[in-house]
Structure 1
Amino acid sequence: MSSSTAPAPAPTPTARPVRRHRRTTAILAIAVGAALLSAGGGTYAYWSTQTALTAGPVSAGDLNLSLGTGTWSLKGVLGSAQSVSNLTTVKIVPGDVLTLTQPLDVTLVGTTIAADLKAEVGSTFTSGALGSNLDVVLTVSSYGTATGTNTYRLTSANSGAATATLTITFKPGTTGRAGATQSVNLNDIAFTLTQASS
């Protein structure tokens, strides 16, 4: 029988590596969390306060324009002005003056408001031979200040009712048969009211 001793059993592995692995993971998690907090501003609370104004409300003004029922008249080179009840029956000739008396209702409400009242002629009005030989002139008697062609500057003092006069003159100097048998659409003339910016 052999007297040699059996080899000693191999030592049991300790739990240290596992503990070290868990410890390393925890340290990494803390580091990542700290980095995220610093990148996002953290969750620190800072002092703050607020106090509401005691000024009360402020209200908007208004701008509006409406037209009443206008009346037309026609004056030729010869004779006096005649009232016109149906424009579709009128045949104008050079030297004629069509006059519109137009009631307006202007709303201008605002501490600093100013606006421009205009008579604007559309491009289709002047595109033909007849329209290009018609002069359109707006006048507003004792109302606002004329600042340009067919333009009047108004303020809140002008808010309310007014009367505008629009004249359409077939140029007396029209030669040949320019504009003969043609027509223009008077609806291509519009009154506008626009807040002034300069």
Structure 2
Amino acid sequence: MKFSTRGIVAGALGLGLLAGGSTFALWNANTVVDAGQIEAGNLGVQAVDNVLWVDASPEHASPVTIDPADFRTVPGDKLERTQDLTVTLVGDNLKADLLVTSSALTFTGLPTPAPAAAITGTYTLIGKNGAAVSTPTALGQPTTLTVDRAAAKDSTATSATYTVRINLGFADVDGLVFANAKAALGDVTYKVTQVR
């Protein structure tokens, strides 16, 4: 009797260990899908090597291409310098400010003291349709243009081309105070900065 009781107790303990010490394997399944990728955009600015100088003085029916190294100005002349600028905007919500900064006109070969400057210089940004997208700004002063990529979301284009047009005017002056003088345009700097 004692033997059978011990057997029953031992069997009960064994079942208890099985119930509490292990887990049952329930069915499960899984699958893996590719969630895609997100690609970063890009922002950049590049000056195109297509500088063109023209003489737009009143006596010409249409501007005449010139080489500034060989051209000698006289009072009343009007010259133009143009160069294309490529702004890269890759990003559906990308908007950027294009900042143009130029050096002020400087002169050499003037008498001392120098007379009031009779040479004026301005620059203007021209859009792809030939229309000005900024107001004429004096050389030496910055101007900012906001470029909005979202406006071209339906287009495959990722860049926009602008033309930077510099206008020089030589006013009528008395005497020969500007004879043999040289005017230096200096540097023009282009910078694009993202804005929200």
TM-score bucket of the superposed structures, by smaller chain: 0.5 to 0.7
Q: How does 1:116-195 map onto structure 2 within 5 Å?
A: 116-118=98-100, 120-123=101-104, 125-126=105-106, 132=117, 133-141=119-127, 142=129, 145-146=133-134, 149=137, 150-156=143-149, 157=152, 159-186=158-185, 188-195=186-193
Shift of 1:68: 2.9
Q: Show structure 1 runs of 4+ deviating over 6 A.
A: none
Asked if the contact 1:135/1:171 (under 8 Å) is kept, the reply is no
CA distance in 2, matches of 1:95, 1:174: 9
- The one-character-per-residue Cα deviations of 1:11-38 (angstroms, maximum 9, x if unpaired) are xxxxxxxxxxxxxxxxxxxxxxxxxxxx
CA distance in 2, matches of 1:182, 1:101: 23
Aligned twin of 1:108: 89
- The one-character-per-residue Cα deviations of 1:116-145 (angstroms, maximum 9, x if unpaired) are 242x3214x336669942222223134794
Percent identity over the alignment is: 18
Aligned twin of 2:59: 78
CA distance in 2, matches of 1:64, 1:89: 31
- The one-character-per-residue Cα deviations of 1:172-195 (angstroms, maximum 9, x if unpaired) are 254544433111234x14141331
Change over 3 Å in CA distance of 1:170–1:184 after alignment to 2: same
CA distance in 1, matches of 2:125, 2:115: 22
- The one-character-per-residue Cα deviations of 1:27-60 (angstroms, maximum 9, x if unpaired) are xxxxxxxxxxxxxxxxxxxxxxxxxxx9976635
Shift of 1:161: 4.7
Aligned twin of 2:17: none
Shift of 1:106: 1.7
SS at match of 2:81: strand
The gaps in structure 1 that reach 5 residues or longer are 1-53
Query: How many pairs are equivalent?
Result: 141
Shift of 1:89: 0.6
Compare CA radii of gyration and give the structure with the larger one.
1
Q: Does 1:61 align with 2:42?
A: yes
The gaps in structure 2 that reach 5 residues or longer are 1-34, 109-113, 138-142
Change over 3 Å in CA distance of 1:69–1:91 after alignment to 2: same
Change over 3 Å in CA distance of 1:127–1:101 after alignment to 2: closer
SS at match of 2:69: helix
Q: Give the structure-1-normalised TM-score.
A: 0.54
SS at match of 2:54: strand
Of the two structures, which has the highest relative contact order with CA contacts closer than 8 Å and spacing of 6 or more?
2
CA distance in 1, matches of 2:83, 2:193: 21
SS at match of 1:179: coil
CA distance in 2, matches of 1:127, 1:137: 18
Question: If each structure's helix is expressed as a fraction of its own residues, which one has the higher value?
Answer: 1
2:77 alignment partner AA: D
Aligned twin of 1:95: 76
2:106 alignment partner AA: T
